[in-house]
Amino acid sequence: MARPYDLVFVGNLSIDKKYCVDNSIIAAMGGSAYNSFCISKIFYPNLSTAFFAPVGNETKRAKLNKYNLNQQVGNDVVFEINEINGTCNTTSIAPCINNTQWDCEHLHISLRRDVDENSFLNGSVDYKTLSVDVILASIKKYKPIIESLKNKIDYLFCNMSEYQHIKDIGIKGSFVVTNEEKPVLVQNSTSLSYFATPTLPHSIKSITGAGDSFIAAFISEQIVQKSIADSVAAGIAAGQLCLGSHSNENLEPKQYQMLFELYKNYTLAMPNRIFVVGPSCAGKTTLVNSNPHLFYPYTQFDDLVVLKERVNFDNGEIRPQQQLLFHDHFERLSRATIKHDDSAFKIVDDSLWLVLHEA
C-alpha cells in the first residue's frame, strides 16, 4: 500500500569529508537529499517528510536515516570536498533508483549523475507538485531532461551561473535563483521578482549544503503558507544557518524561527524597475556603478523635467527625504505620492525611487 507524505526529497546520502572555509577538517553526514531532509524535519516537524537516497553500512548510521524510504544497503557514497579551492571528488557512486511505491504531495528531485529520475516519475510515485535542482557540473547532461519535464516542474532551483544555461527553457512553474548575497530571483512566464537578501548574521563555517537548505525551507514553507515572499525568507534563513554550521543534523529550530520571523519583515519583493533621481553631481552614477550586484535593473534621470514626462501627476506629499547613501539607506516608495520641490508626482507601479540630494 502506498504511504502518503507531505514532502519527499530524492538524491544523495553521503559521508562528506570536508576541508571547510573556516579551515576545519571534518567528516559529516551530507548529500543533497539528506541535507534538505534535515532542514525540513527539524524546522517543520509537523510536516510528514521523508527522503530517498542510497544507503551504505556507514551512512545508515545517520541520525535521521529511519526516514529514508530506501532501506536496501549498498555501497557508501563518500565525497571529498575542498571548500577552499572548490573541488569535490567521490570515491564511489551508488545509483539512486526507486524500488518502493509511495505517495506524496510534493516531490523534489536533485538531478545528479547517480539519480535515476525516471524511476520516480514513471508512475510508481504519485505526487501532486514537482521541483528539481541542478548543479553546474552536470548542467549540460540534464538540460534535455529538464526540457522533457518542463510541463511538470513547479519549481526549478539553481544559482545564477546555472540559470544562464537553462533560463531559455519554458517550464510550467517558476525558476528560483539564488546568487550568494545578492537578491533572490523568482521568474515564471508572467512575472519576474527580486527579493532582498539580509546580511549574514554570523561567520561562515562551511558552505556545503547551503543550497539544499534553501530549497528545503522554501518548499516546506510553500506547503504550509503558499507565500512566495515568506518561502524566500525561509530559504534564506535556513541557508544562512547552514553556513554557520558543519552539519545540518545539529541545527536548532529556535534559531531558525527567530531568523525566519525577522526576515519575513525584511525579505520583501524588490521592484522590477529602479529610478535614481537627483540633480547634477548628486552621485547618481556613483551609486548605480557601485551597487550593480544589489540591483540589476535601473534607470537614471538627470533632472526632474525628464522624470515628470514619465509619471502621472497627483496632489500629495510625503516627508522630505534625507540624503540617501548606498543600499543601507535605500527607502522603498511604492504606489505612493512623493513631493519634490514644488512639483508632486505619483508612483504608478512597483518601482524603487531613490531621490538623491546634492551634498
d(CA 305, CA 162): 42
Write the CB contacts of 52 (distance below 8 Å, at least 6 apart in sequence): 8, 9, 10, 11, 33, 68, 69, 70, 96, 98, 120
Q: Identify the pLDDT of residue 185.
A: 87
Q: Identify the pLDDT of residue 287.
A: 61
Q: Identify the pLDDT of residue 341.
A: 45
**Strands of the sheet with 102-110, listed across from one edge:** 49-52, 4-10, 102-110, 125-133, 155-159, 174-179, 182-187, 192-195, 269-270
Q: For residue 241, is it left (φ>0), alpha (ψ between -120 and 50) or beta?
A: alpha
Rg (CA), the chain: 23
Residue 2: half-sphere exposure toward Cβ, Cα within 13 Å = 12
Cell numbers at 228, concatenated: 512566495
Angle between helices 253-264 and 228-243 (to 10 degrees): 130
Tell me: the pLDDT tens digits for 106-131?
999 999 888 999 999 987 899 999 99
Residues of the chain with pLDDT under 50: 1, 293-351, 357-359
Q: Identify the pLDDT of residue 214.
A: 98
- For the entire predicted model, the pTM comes to 0.78
Hey, which CATH number is domain 4-270, 2.70.150.10, 2.40.128.20, 3.40.50.970, 3.40.1190.20?
Answer: 3.40.1190.20
Domain with CATH 3.40.1190.20 in the chain: 4-270
Query: Beta strands 78-82 and 87-90: pairing type?
Result: antiparallel
Q: Identify the pLDDT of residue 226.
A: 84
Q: Identify the pLDDT of residue 207.
A: 95
